[in-house]
Amino acid sequence: MPRVDNEAFYRGALAAHGETAEGVHWNSTETQEIRFRVLREFLPDDLSDLTLVDAGCGFGDFYCYLTREGEQPHQYIGLDVMQPMVETARERTGCEIWILDVLKDPLPEADYYLCSGAMNTLTREESAQFIRNCYEASTKGFAFNLLKGWNTSPIFNYYQPREIRRLAQELDVDDYRIVEGYLAGDFSAIFLKPSC
């Protein structure tokens, strides 16, 4: 079982903060966009021929970030389990946004999957399954961020980078990168598929 009721967790934040970074439990737009920048740096320079799937897309903020930076993937698909977030993401992005549970539902194939923050309230088993599912649905790789620390919170899911290295080995991922130091208590990783 999840350590929190995700529906109540996000609906409460949405009611308190509206359609903002705080409404999806980030401290601020600034820290959210620092995380986006790190994830973007994992991807190829040119996104114009790529399909990106944003797993746990929230309000579609990553797509909006790319647009402000003057970038457009060939196709962007957002996935989220929360109806209010899906509706807002559709309005904001004009893209395909699906109501879908990454842990249970079949996933669309895409060049890259990415996830910013959606695993923070899952259990460790759920997070590992989430990473596995997104990696398998990608043809090129899966980029994601996690909270860094000791896993002692009753709400949030914390990891040490070495645990993600171990998961990469379990999934037979030979090519991966981990980036730390851009924000306290956070790190990002990408698991890449073998080159053809």
135: nearest Cα among 109, 160, 157: 109
- Cα separation, 130 vs 35, in Å, equals 19
Backbone angles phi and psi of 3, in degrees to 5: -75, -20
Highest mean pLDDT among 23-27, 81-85, 192-196: 81-85
| Phi, psi for 34 (deg, rounded to 5) | -65, -45
Helical segments of the chain, H only: 6-17, 29-42, 61-68, 83-93, 124-137, 161-170
The answer to whether 164 and 189 have CB atoms below 8 angstroms apart is yes
Q: How far apart are CA 94 and CA 182, in angstroms?
A: 31
Share of the chain above pLDDT 70, in %: 85
Residues 54-84 pLDDT 10s? 999 999 999 999 999 999 999 999 999 999 9
Whose CA is closest to 121, among 130, 134, 133, 110? 130
pLDDT, mean over the chain: 89
Distance separating alpha carbons of residues 77 and 94, to the nearest angstrom: 10
Cα–Cα nearest to 43, from 138, 142, 135, 137: 142
Q: What is the pLDDT of residues 126-164, one digit of tens each?
A: 999 999 999 999 999 999 999 999 988 888 899 999 999
- pLDDT of 155 reads 82
Q: Which domains, and CATH codes, for the chain?
A: 6-192 (3.40.50.150)
- Residue 1 has a pLDDT of 42
196 pLDDT exceeds 90?
no
pLDDT digits (tens, 9 = 90+) for 157-191: 999 999 999 999 999 999 999 999 999 999 999 99
In the numeric block, the tokens 């909006």 are attached to: 64
CA distance 20 to 25: 9
